[in-house]
Amino acid sequence: MYLTKEEEKMLNGEYGPAVEKSMRLLVKLGEIYGAEKMIEISSAQIAGISYKNIGDPGVEFLEGFLEEGAKVRVLAFMNPAGMDLESWKELGIPEEFAEKQMRIINALKRMGVYAAATCTPYLAGLLPRYGEHIAWSESSAVIFANSVIGARTNREGGPSALAAAITGRTPMHGFHLNENRTPEVTIVVESQIKTSYEFGILAHAICKKFKKGVPYITGINPVHANIERLKLFGATLAAYGAFSLFHMEGVTPENVEAPKEKIHIEPSDLNESKEEMGEKLDSVDLVVIGCPHASLDEIKRILKVLNGRKMKVPMLVFTSRSVRVVAKRTNLISELEKLNIKVLADTCPVVMPLEYLNVKRVATDSGKAIYYLPNTNNVKVLFDSLERLVERFGE
Ligand code: F3S
Task: For residue range 348-391, list pLDDT tens digits in order.
Answer: 999 999 988 899 999 999 999 999 999 999 999 999 999 999 99
Q: 35 with 154: CB under 8 angstroms?
A: no
**Is the beta carbon of 136 within 6 A of some atom in ligand 1?**
no
Grade residue 242 by pLDDT with cuts at 50, 70 and 90: confident
Stretch (H or E) spanning 317:
strand 315-319
Q: Which residues of 150-177 are buried (b: 16+ CB within 10 A; e: fewer)?
A: bbbbbbbebbbbbbbbbbbbbbbbbbbe
**Is the beta carbon of 291 within 6 A of some atom in ligand 1?**
yes
d(CA 296, CA 307): 17
Question: If you average pLDDT over residues 11-30, what whole number do you get?
Answer: 98
d(CA 12, CA 26): 13
CA of 348 to the centre of ligand 1 (A): 5
User: Using one digit for the tens of pLDDT, what is the confidence trace for 187-225?
Assistant: 999 999 999 999 999 999 999 999 889 999 999 999 999
Atom of ligand 1 nearest to the CA of 141: 5
**Is the beta carbon of 20 within 6 A of some atom in ligand 1?**
no
Q: 44 with 135: CB under 8 angstroms?
A: yes
What is the average pLDDT value for the chain, to the nearest integer?
A: 97
SS3 of 65, please? Answer: helix
Q: How far is CA 227 from the centre of its chain?
A: 14
d(CA 69, CA 54): 21
Among 144, 346, 350, 372, the mutation site with the greatest number of ligand 1 atoms within 8 A of its Cβ is 350
**Is the beta carbon of 140 within 6 A of some atom in ligand 1?**
yes
Write the CA distances from 351 to 154, 180, 275, 296, integer angstroms: 22, 31, 26, 22
**Radius of gyration for the chain, computed over Cα atoms and rounded to the nearest angstrom:** 21
Q: 393 with 287: CB under 8 angstroms?
A: yes
Write the CA distances from 47 to 78, 141, 352, integer angstroms: 6, 10, 13
d(CA 324, CA 319): 7
- Residue 114: partners with Cβ closer than 8 Å, 6 or more residues away: 75, 76, 77, 78, 126
Grade residue 344 by pLDDT with cuts at 50, 70 and 90: very high
Amino acid 124: pLDDT? 93
